[in-house]
Structure 1
Amino acid sequence: MRIVPLRRADLPVDTVELARFMVGKYLVHDLAAGRMSGRIVEMEAYPVGDSTSHAFIGRRAWNASLFLERGHAYVRLTYGSSYMLNMSSEAAETGAGVLVRAVEPLEGLAQMAALRSGVPPRDLARGPGRLTQAFGIGAAFDGVDLCRGHGLWIGRVDEPARPVGVTTRIGLSRETGRPLRFFEAGSPYVSGPRRLLAGGV
């Protein structure tokens, strides 16, 4: 499997478009011990002006990565226990991001299993907190350029496109009705209740 790094020019300059675009792309973490990679099967968009976005309050030291040019990692500890991998999604100085919610593991499964001991293969990276644990992603990756093609990066594979579904986001208490969650239709690696999954678009 040949994964080609995504260039910044490949990424749509629009948060919602970018979230949909990223379904079917690849998350890669190259380590001395070997490569971990998987196909992204679920994304959520947090566009400009969204009150649930960490960028909504304006730029601060802790959320500055969301204001970088699209394609940079924003890694934040949530609920005091789980890191979430987001990516900046607009032009520089415009705060917005997309959340990587689930990945189908493809390479480095033994390494992932060592980081998530006793977890079934289907659940290694099925959910935003699970995938950061499986891929060894923590606070040190905040601000990393995901278009650099080494270390932690995003890429694509020359393969047929798969249907993408859309539904509302998960786990929010406001702005709950917006169709901003995109996923690979039919994938068993998508997180959340099955009843929330809509048809392909």
Structure 2
Amino acid sequence: MTDRSTDDTDTRPDGAVPSEDGWSGTWPLDRDALAVDPVVLARGLLGRVLESRTDDGVVRIRLAEVEAYRGLDDPASHCYRGRTPRNEVMWGPPGHLYVYFVYGMHFCANIVGLTDGEPGAVLLRAGEVLTGRELARRRRPTARGGGAVAKGPAVLTSLLGLDRAHNGTDLTDPDSPVRLLDVPPVPEDAVRVGPRVGVAAAKDVPWRFWIDGSPAVSTYRRHARRARPRA
């Protein structure tokens, strides 16, 4: 078990951690907490903080919108047709980052759940930048919100500086360049649930979760012909 005796993170009543000038630090989330069904994991990830450390600096994003994707029983999942070199990380163990390239120009990031050998992950759709707003703005100067929000999965990865090299990163390792920090999730009355973005109705289920009122949450769009980011 990770020792959290020195964890002095302050939180607001809605479970959010302080903004960047009030950050006090915390430990990565335990792997056992991520070894659950992606639908359960998705709900539990709301309000958690993803931290990325690079030579340029540190960016921390509070997760505000996520989508669950299971494996062989989810037609919208990358793992629906079986194990491939591309989706290998999604088969576990839990607590790792699954990063893939889409549209020939964007990266999307997912957090792997379930157990080793059983595929499932949660797509990180949007979040609020808590630390490193200037760096986030430099990485994507055209992003809405002036570096304060990561609105959409491709924007989120670019603000965090994530790319294919981060595929397979262990988010539970205290020394990892990308960590999932153990701060309280948001309370139930702040959570909203709905259909996943860009998934055909025949394949869809209400597995998208978001924080009510967050400026980072994506605009919902129904299925279009071309493929959309998914885990």
**TM-score normalised to structure 2 length:** 0.78
- Unpaired segments ≥5 residues, structure 2: 1-22, 222-231
Give the conservation status (yes or no) of the 8 Å contact 2:107–2:162.
Answer: yes
Q: Which residue does the alignment assign to 1:133?
A: 158
Q: Tell me which of 117, 133, 141 is aligned to 1:117.
A: 141
Quick one: which amino acid aligns to residue 186 of structure 1?
G
Q: Which residue does the alignment assign to 1:154?
A: 180
Q: Which residue does the alignment assign to 1:180?
A: 207
Give the conservation status (yes or no) of the 8 Å contact 1:23–1:43.
Answer: yes
Give the conservation status (yes or no) of the 8 Å contact 1:112–1:124.
Answer: no
Distance 1:159 1:59, change over 3 A: closer
Helix, strand or coil for the counterpart of 2:151? Answer: coil
1:169 and 2:193 correspond: no
Quick one: which amino acid aligns to residue 151 of structure 1?
P
Offset, 1:189: 1.0
Helix, strand or coil for the counterpart of 2:66? Answer: strand
**TM-score normalised to structure 1 length:** 0.89
Quick one: which amino acid aligns to residue 87 of structure 1?
I
Counterpart-to-counterpart distance in 1, 2:62 and 2:168 = 22
Counterpart-to-counterpart distance in 2, 1:188 and 1:122 = 12
Q: Which residue does the alignment assign to 1:78?
A: 102
Aligned residue-pair number: 194
Quote the sequence identity (%): 32
Q: Which residue does the alignment assign to 1:62?
A: 86
1:145 and 2:167 correspond: no
Q: Which residue does the alignment assign to 2:122?
A: 98
Structure 1 or 2, whichever has the larger Rg, is: 2
Give the conservation status (yes or no) of the 8 Å contact 1:51–1:175.
Answer: no
Offset, 1:167: 0.5
Counterpart-to-counterpart distance in 2, 1:174 and 1:89 = 24
- Unpaired segments ≥5 residues, structure 1: 195-201
Offset, 1:73: 0.8
**1:149-173 deviation per Cα after TM superposition (whole angstroms, max 9, x unaligned):** 3301111235874711101100112
Q: Which residue does the alignment assign to 1:23?
A: 46
Q: Which residue does the alignment assign to 1:198?
A: none
